[in-house]
A and B are shown apart, each in its own frame.
Chain A
Amino acid sequence: MFQNDRLNNEITFFQKIKNLDYILLISVALLSAISVFVMYSTDGGEILFHTKNHFVKLMVFFPLMIFVAFFNIKFWHNFSYIIYFLVIILLIWVSFFGIKSSGSQRWMDVYLFVLQPSELMKVAIILCLAKYYHRLKIENVNSFTSIIIVLSIIIIPIIFVISQPDLGTSILIALSGLIILWLGGVKIKYFIYSFITFLISLPFIISFLKPYQKLRILTFLDPDRDPLGAGYQIIQSKIAIGSGGLDGKGFLKGTQSYLDFLPEKHTDFIFTLFSEEFGFIGSVGLLILYTIIIFRIVRIGSISRSNFARLFCFGYAFAIFIYIVVNLSMVLGLLPIVGSPLPIMSYGGSSMLATMIGFGIVLSAKINHKQIIA
């Protein structure tokens, strides 16, 4: 049975190619191309370390996405739990033997690049929960056992990630998991109750935060309280974006980034640089491109015959949306600073790998949208 699933005889190789979603593919390719140019700008208009590495990673991971797409969606369904557990094992491994950097321990060296397993968990948790709800009878969705199981699936990786410590990724994993619960049909009142509980316990949670995390929240509320220290990043980011104006300062002419006023310009604050150089028009353009990608994924989900594919696509579309919202809100000063990359645009192998694998599975769902999973 296992072999039958893998060697799907119904669709030939050429049909697979024909069935690929080209709008999604082109959008991702376009985004990748933009990201290389922006990376070139962060390097000060030269092809240096970041530009080269980013380009090489794209050259590896973009084909990987298509490679992933060529596996039947049934294959991903079957391996969902295993993938989830593999990533859990990686997280455990990292918490013992991981590479430490600036006070946190979340990476492992995999020869080609430094892998951050928590990034992979962002996709793995969607796969896992999509499979769980695919198989769960609708009557049992709100049963006590199933709620406990899904919450455990969410909480176990979060424990590892939060202890690295990595609050940003933990939140993103939690949100990615919760959206599947929502889509799977968990009662709305549960969401409302737990949201109210969350709000009430918020002060309590804050008291458990690390001092630097508290500082970030305070800084978010009033960036000017320490303009050269904690508030520096957000103030400089807002200056960069605001000074971009309608059409930006022009490619390679963003003074804030060129003169090193922007912090973390390769990773979390990449949008700031883009927005400074390309202005409001460019920023809205980038948002439209992301919107196209998200809606393409939603559309693929809605034509899928299997609920697994549907749940994964909807969930993944939402996850991408959340990444973008968290990242942009952060650089625009709407949310406290939490480390969260902008998909594809930000420098960072793990995030790109996870995102590309996610797109690959979505494409697989597209190719096999008629596939019924028992």
Chain B
Amino acid sequence: MSTPASTAKRSGSAAVAAGPTAAERLTSLMPVLALAVLVVALAAADPDFLRRSSLMAVVDAAAPLAVLAAGATLVVLCGGIDLSIAALASLSSVLLALWLPGLDALAWPAVVAVAAVAGALQGAAHVFLRIPSFIVTLGGMSVFSSIALVVSGAATVPVVDDTSIRWGFSRVLGTVPSAAVVAVVVVAVLALIVKVTPLDSSIKATGYSEAAARLAGIPVDLVKIGAFCVSGACAGLAAVLLVARTFSGGPTLADSLLLPAVAAIVIGGTAITGGHGGVWRTVVGALVVTLLRVGLSIVGVSAAYESILYGAIIVVAVALTLDRSKVLVVK
């Protein structure tokens, strides 16, 4: 065996590779590849799947999940996690159903605002009390669930007049589900704001290395509270989409979306340890999760098995994307 590149080391930094390696590129394309494979597989299993109506149905079903998960993605990028999103969306759905008769067109902005405040409060608790976000939002999840039960009287709240939120469940140009348009617009706005402002490096630096970010003068606390605030607002907006399609708000309406949302984030390739990832990736993740669910029913697997799938997906996706150099001791 000869010794290749034996002089490379001497020249020091000049020898380092410039960009990501082929393997890294492949890993980063993995979510899109997974999506493509799923589409092909489903089309093979059921040729009807490629019809426009069924494709649109999938996109429509994925929209609330994508909105919910996109907000939480920002929290994950900052190195935290928001486990309260589903419970907060349930609570928001109840509030929306209760407020629609009185506030009418102002009801949904009010709900989104309340959810944003709820998120910001959790962020503030996490930052100022120095409690892990995991614990804060686990507590938040429990609190929001309970409030939802109390204010709804533990029952579904029907919506009689849904005129002011009908935009959340209709068709654009006759075919495209409006919920999907809402999801794309929300994600695009979030992505654009992050991309064109210094927020991009602030969020990433916070997620990769909070200590370094703080010592570079980045307002780490504000960035994190902001991320939780957006996460809350997205939960509120997801609730609006859900109420628009079910004509009701329910204290557990969105609860089952927590695992799929976390799955969407990690399948998209956002690192659970923070720093690496993005909101568009989560949209891909949400589509993959939705397709898997659709696929199970096409193949004829009972819906009772779904949670097994989500649980396994989360573990596998994190196993594939985890930056182990950053996690010294796994707890």
Is A bound to B?
no
